[in-house]
A and B are shown apart, each in its own frame.
Chain A
Amino acid sequence: MSAVEKSLDYTAGEMMTVTAARALENGMTCFVGIGLPSEAANLARLTHAPDVVLIYESGTLQTKPEVLPLSIGDGELCETALTTVSVPEMFRYWLQGGKIDVGFLGTAQIDRYCNLNTTLIGDYTSPKVRLPGGGGAPEIATNAGEVFITLKHSRRTFVDEVDFVTTLGFGRDGKARDGVPNIGRGPTRVITDLCVMKPDPETKELVVVSLHPGVTAEQVQEATGWEIRFAEALESTPEPGARELEVLRELKDRTARAHAGQ
Chain B
Amino acid sequence: MAEILSLHDAVSRYVEDGATVAMEGFTHLIPFAAGHELIRQGKRDLTLIRMTPDLVYDQLIGAGCAKKVIFSWGGNPGVGSLHRLRDAVEKGWPHQVEILEHSHAAMACAFEAGAAGLPLAVLRGYVGSELPNVNDQIKFIECPFTGERLAAVPSVRPDVSIVHAQKADRAGNVLVEGIVGVQKEAVLAARHSIVTVEEIVDDLDTHPNACVIPGWAIDAISVAEKGSLPSYAHGYYPRDNHFYKEWDTIARDRDTFTKWIDDNVMNAGGNA
Tell yes or no: B244 within 8 A of A by CB: yes
List of A residues within 8 angstroms of B86 by Cβ: 129-130
User: Per-residue 0/1 for B32-73: is the Cβ within 8 Å of any A Cβ (1 yes, 0 no)?
Assistant: 000000000000000000011000000000000000000111
Partner of A137, one of B75, B89, B103: B103
List of B residues within 8 angstroms of A58 by Cβ: 26-28, 179, 181
List of B residues within 8 angstroms of A115 by Cβ: 128
User: Per-residue 0/1 for B226-262: is the Cβ within 8 Å of any A Cβ (1 yes, 0 no)?
Assistant: 0000001010001111101000000000000000000
Give A96 to B47 CA distance when docked, in angstroms.
29
Chain B, residue nearest A92 (CB): B109
User: Per-residue 0/1 for A106-128: is the Cβ within 8 Å of any B Cβ (1 yes, 0 no)?
Assistant: 00000000010001000010111
Tell yes or no: B204 within 8 A of A by CB: no
Contact across chains for B181 and A69 when beta carbons are under 8 A apart: no
Q: Give min CB distance, B252 to chain A, whole Å.
A: 14
Contact across chains for B129 and A167 when beta carbons are under 8 A apart: yes
Give A164 to B82 CA distance when docked, in angstroms.
20
- Interface stretch among A43-51, A83-91, A195-203? A83-91
Partner of B73, one of A88, A135, A176, A181: A135
List of B residues within 8 angstroms of A91 by Cβ: 104-105, 108-109, 123
- Interface stretch among A22-30, A70-78, A149-157, A214-222? A70-78
Give A259 to B79 CA distance when docked, in angstroms.
12
Give A180 to B147 CA distance when docked, in angstroms.
12
Partner of A262, one of B102, B108, B126, B239: B239
List of B residues within 8 angstroms of A127 by Cβ: 89-90
Give A251 to B135 CA distance when docked, in angstroms.
41
Tell yes or no: A177 within 8 A of B by CB: yes
Q: How many residues of A contact B (CB 8 A)?
A: 59
Chain A, residue nearest B123 (CB): A96
Chain A, residue nearest B104 (CB): A136
User: Per-residue 0/1 for A151-186: is the Cβ within 8 Å of any B Cβ (1 yes, 0 no)?
Assistant: 000000000000011111001000011001111000
Contact across chains for B105 and A136 when beta carbons are under 8 A apart: yes
Contact across chains for B180 and A138 when beta carbons are under 8 A apart: no
Tell yes or no: A34 within 8 A of B by CB: yes
Contact across chains for A75 and B232 when beta carbons are under 8 A apart: yes
Tell yes or no: B127 within 8 A of A by CB: yes
Q: Could you write out 15 A-B pairs with CB less than 8 Å apart? A: A73-B28, A74-B27, A75-B232, A84-B180, A88-B182, A132-B75, A134-B104, A136-B105, A138-B125, A139-B105, A139-B125, A165-B128, A165-B129, A181-B148, A262-B242
Q: Closest 4 CB pairs between A and B?
A: A73-B27, A168-B128, A132-B75, A71-B77
Chain B residues engaging chain A, CB cutoff 8 angstroms: 26-28, 51-52, 71-75, 77-79, 81-82, 85-86, 89-90, 101-106, 108-109, 111-112, 123-131, 134, 148, 178-182, 184-185, 211, 232, 234, 238-242, 244
Chain A residues engaging chain B, CB cutoff 8 angstroms: 34-35, 57-60, 69-75, 77-79, 84-88, 90-92, 95-96, 115, 119, 124, 126-139, 142-143, 164-168, 171, 176-177, 180-183, 259, 262
